[in-house]
Amino acid sequence: MRAALSWDPGGEEEAVAAHRPTPAAKLALVSAFKDALRTTRLSKVTVTGLAAAAGVNRQTFYTHFIDVYDLAAWVFTADVADHIMAHASYDAWADGFVALLAYMQDHRDQVYAVTRSLRYEELERFFYRELREMMRVIVAELGEGIDVSEADRSFVVDHYTLTVLGHLLHWLAFDMREDPYLLVEKLEFILHGGVRESLERFAARSGAREGRGVQDARGSLGSAVTD
């Protein structure tokens, strides 16, 4: 059964909420949930048990979450975002991505309970949003000094975001079978130098177009003078 979710994986409301302080009761429930998962399968975790462990009543739980799966989704999205943005640089992204995949393997039950409760579009939109923010930082870092239009730069960010996203979703779809270190090693090999080269090629293409535009303008001016 698909769980009802109180969060929007890609909406404006979630982005705004991310900047608000998290209430103490909500943090206590999150802590109790993480503690419970160390000894109990997600399907066996109860609202009553979490509320008691957090020192709050059931009504307080329902103030913050729809059900246990909604809490699991909140924890999952927060932890994934933290893993990704903690390594948002070219030198660190591979280590961060390995750490993210290892985290997912360590929390397999929780990850699949959450991802299977979402429509594919919701899951894709969530991962895309988080990975794109990481890739935006990387492209800005590697593209320093390269003069490209904002549209071309944005396309490069989207392209490499979708590359990583596609491999992540494929890995999840096939039961996390591939070793995270081997997968990320291949990704790093393919992407190494590719981001900056892509930016440089866009810059060269833009320069060539500007050059042709100047030549055309000079040609038109010459014809007008001759006439």
Taking alpha carbons only, the member of 43, 176, 178 closest to residue 108 is 176
pLDDT of residue 56: 96
Residue 214 banded pLDDT, cuts 50, 70, 90:
very low
Tell me, yes or no, whether 53 lies in a domain. Answer: yes
pLDDT of residue 68: 93
Tokens at 16, concatenated:
């705004």
Mean pLDDT for the stretch of residues 106-135: 89
- Coil, strand or helix at 20: coil
pLDDT of residue 4: 42
Taking alpha carbons only, the member of 161, 160, 148, 162 closest to residue 201 is 148
- Coil, strand or helix at 89: coil
CATH of residue 83's domain is: 1.10.357.10
Higher pLDDT pick, 144 / 226: 144
Tell me, yes or no, whether 224 lies in a domain. Answer: no
Tell me, yes or no, whether 179 lies in a domain. Answer: yes
Please state the φ and ψ torsions of residue 139, each to the nearest 5 degrees.
Answer: -65, -40
- Greatest mean pLDDT among 19-28, 53-62, 82-91: 53-62
pLDDT digits (tens, 9 = 90+) for 194-205: 999 999 999 999
The model scores a pTM over 0.85: no
Tell me, yes or no, whether 186 lies in a domain. Answer: yes
- Spell 96-107 as b/e; 16+ CB within 10 A means b: bbbbbbebbeeb
- Greatest mean pLDDT among 67-71, 87-91, 167-171: 167-171
Tell me, yes or no, whether 169 lies in a domain. Answer: yes
The total number of structural domains that make up the chain: 1
pLDDT digits (tens, 9 = 90+) for 6-54: 445 445 444 444 445 678 999 999 999 999 988 888 889 999 999 999 9
Tell me, yes or no, whether 99 lies in a domain. Answer: yes
Mean pLDDT for the stretch of residues 143-158: 94
Tell me, yes or no, whether 3 lies in a domain. Answer: no
Expressed as residue numbers, the domain containing 43 is 12-214
Residue 3 pLDDT > 50: no
Tell me, yes or no, whether 182 lies in a domain. Answer: yes
Residue 1 banded pLDDT, cuts 50, 70, 90:
very low
